[in-house]
């Protein structure tokens, strides 16, 4: 009796047959599994071992092993390799835990210059300190060994994943307070007196845009020419003249923008903006300001000035990491996308003049920025 006829037939269910057909035609599955799927399909169709060998071009012992495993343990057993360990592991769990503990620290914690581990650097450090730590087998550690240990514990010490720490415990309360202000602005017109108040309230969103660079041309821009150059040509090189800070406020009722361009951003510059607001609005009104906790806003000099105008200014602070709640950021974004984009000047003074000119152009056709979504905890 031949070896083929000594084996029982392989009966496939429809589900098993579909699985084998799909695997046999796969281009992404491992080659050995594709070959085994074809072996089992051919054997189920009662082809001889010689026919299977000629079609798949694989040795007879490999065909016999695949068939015997499938008959004994099922289709999945016939497709997969049986796991076996030829000998006991030389690197035990305590040695791996030591490597992982090192990988979870920074190289600088061990007297090295790097901030993050590389596999080579980690392997060198482990090899140099393995004997002293009681793990002599790791004295010949290599990159591949480090990768296997770290991959087993899903540790990637060469990467950084950034997160934002929530530093303000009153974030939700402050957010709701700001949204209530925006909702009140949307309800009452500029001349109306809000419910519960005795005098008009003007709401101004205030913030700073620091570090605006004054960049100059090294070579002249080349104009666009019909049929020759579609756009302006500009040399890659540029000159740096310095930076300026824009201190601005926007009236949330009318869209009017207040702006001051300064070399620095200190209390004296912020007080200058407060004085401009004080002059602009009626003397009997309250100026409500939505702003962050910058030191210039709450400095001794600023508090001293506010004490000379009691009841005139009212602060509504944004929470830490909550600058997106300040509507003036929309104006800064519009400014960056329009006249500040690609701007080139010959001096810092020219940059200041161009920024103020752009603000004047915005004020010629003011846009009222509104907060339209009030479902972030606001009824």
CA atoms within 13 A on the CB side of 151: 7
Does residue 9 belong to any structural domain of this protein?
A: no
DSSP string, 28-59: SS-HHHHHHHHHHHHHHTT--HHHHHHHHT--
Does residue 85 belong to any structural domain of this protein?
A: no
Q: Write down the pLDDT at residue 254.
A: 92
Q: Write down the pLDDT at residue 237.
A: 94
Which run of H or E residues covers position 79?
helix 75-79
Structurally, the chain folds into a number of domains equal to 3
Q: Do 282 and 317 fall into the same domain?
A: yes
Q: Residue 315 sits in a domain of what CATH number?
A: 3.30.420.10
Does residue 294 belong to any structural domain of this protein?
A: yes
Q: Write down the pLDDT at residue 346.
A: 95
Q: Do 201 and 347 fall into the same domain?
A: yes
Q: 73 lies in which domain range?
A: 14-79
- What is the distance between the alpha carbons of residues 114 and 156, in angstroms, rounded to a whole number? 15
Label residue 129 exposed, middle or buried (CB < 10 Å: 0-12, 13-18, 19+).
Answer: middle
Domain boundary among 34, 55, 79: 79
Q: Do 74 and 176 fall into the same domain?
A: no
Q: Write down the pLDDT at residue 2.
A: 42
Q: Write down the pLDDT at residue 378.
A: 46
Q: Write down the pLDDT at residue 35.
A: 92
- What is the distance between the alpha carbons of residues 134 and 137, in angstroms, rounded to a whole number? 9
Answer yes or no: are the C-beta atoms of 179 and 374 closer than 8 Å. Answer: yes
Does residue 373 belong to any structural domain of this protein?
A: no
DSSP string, 155-219: --TT----------TTHHHHHHHHHHHHHHHHHS-SSSPPTT-SS-EEEEEEEEEEEEEEEEESS
- What is the distance between the alpha carbons of residues 323 and 5, in angstroms, rounded to a whole number? 79
Instruction: List the chain pLDDT tens, one digit each, 379 residues.
Output: 344 447 888 888 889 999 999 999 999 989 999 999 999 999 999 899 999 999 999 999 999 999 999 898 888 888 888 766 676 667 888 999 999 999 999 999 999 999 999 999 999 999 999 999 999 999 988 999 999 999 999 999 999 998 877 778 888 888 888 998 998 888 877 667 777 777 888 999 999 999 999 999 999 999 999 988 889 999 999 999 999 999 999 999 999 999 999 998 899 999 999 999 999 999 989 999 999 989 999 999 999 999 999 999 999 999 988 888 999 999 999 999 998 989 999 999 999 999 999 999 999 999 998 887 766 544 4
Q: Do 133 and 228 fall into the same domain?
A: no
């Amino acid at each position: 009796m031949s070896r083929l006829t000594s084996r029982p037939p392989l009966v496939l269910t429809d589900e098993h047959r579909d699985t084998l057909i799909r695997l046999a035609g796969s281009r992404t599955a491992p080659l050995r599994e594709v070959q085994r799927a074809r072996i089992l399909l051919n054997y189920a169709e009662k082809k001889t071992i010689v026919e299977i060998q000629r079609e798949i071009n694989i040795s007879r012992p490999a065909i016999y092993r695949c068939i015997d495993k499938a008959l004994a343990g099922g289709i999945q057993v016939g497709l997969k390799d049986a796991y076996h360990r030829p000998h006991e592991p030389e690197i035990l769990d305590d040695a791996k835990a030591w490597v992982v503990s090192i990988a979870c620290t920074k190289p600088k914690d061990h007297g090295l210059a790097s901030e993050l581990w590389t596999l080579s650097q980690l392997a060198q450090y482990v090899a140099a300190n393995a004997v002293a730590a009681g793990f002599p087998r790791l004295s010949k550690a290599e990159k591949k060994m480090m990768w296997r240990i770290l991959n087993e514990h899903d540790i990637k010490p060469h990467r950084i994943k950034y997160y934002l720490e929530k530093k303000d415990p009153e974030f939700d309360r402050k957010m709701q307070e700001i949204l209530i202000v925006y909702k009140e602005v949307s309800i009452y017109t500029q001349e109306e007196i809000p419910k519960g108040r005795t005098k008009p309230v003007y709401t101004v969103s205030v913030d700073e845009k620091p570090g605006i660079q004054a960049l100059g041309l090294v070579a002249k821009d080349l104009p666009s020419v019909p049929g020759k150059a579609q756009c302006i040509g500009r040399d890659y090189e540029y000159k740096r003249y310095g930076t300026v800070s824009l201190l601005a406020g926007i009236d949330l009722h009318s869209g009017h923008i207040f702006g001051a361009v300064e070399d620095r951003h200190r209390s004296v510059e912020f007080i200058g903006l407060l004085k401009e607001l004080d002059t602009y609005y009626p003397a009997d009104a309250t100026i409500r300001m939505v702003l962050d906790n910058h030191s210039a806003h709450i400095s001794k000099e600023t508090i001293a000035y506010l004490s000379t105008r009691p009841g005139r200014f009212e602060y509504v602070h944004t929470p830490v990491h909550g600058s997106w709640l300040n509507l003036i950021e929309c104006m800064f974004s519009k400014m960056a996308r329009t006249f500040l984009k690609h701007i080139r000047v010959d001096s810092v003074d020219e940059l200041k003049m161009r920024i103020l000119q752009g603000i004047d152009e915005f004020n010629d056709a003011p846009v009222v920025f509104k907060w339209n979504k009030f479902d972030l905890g606001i009824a």
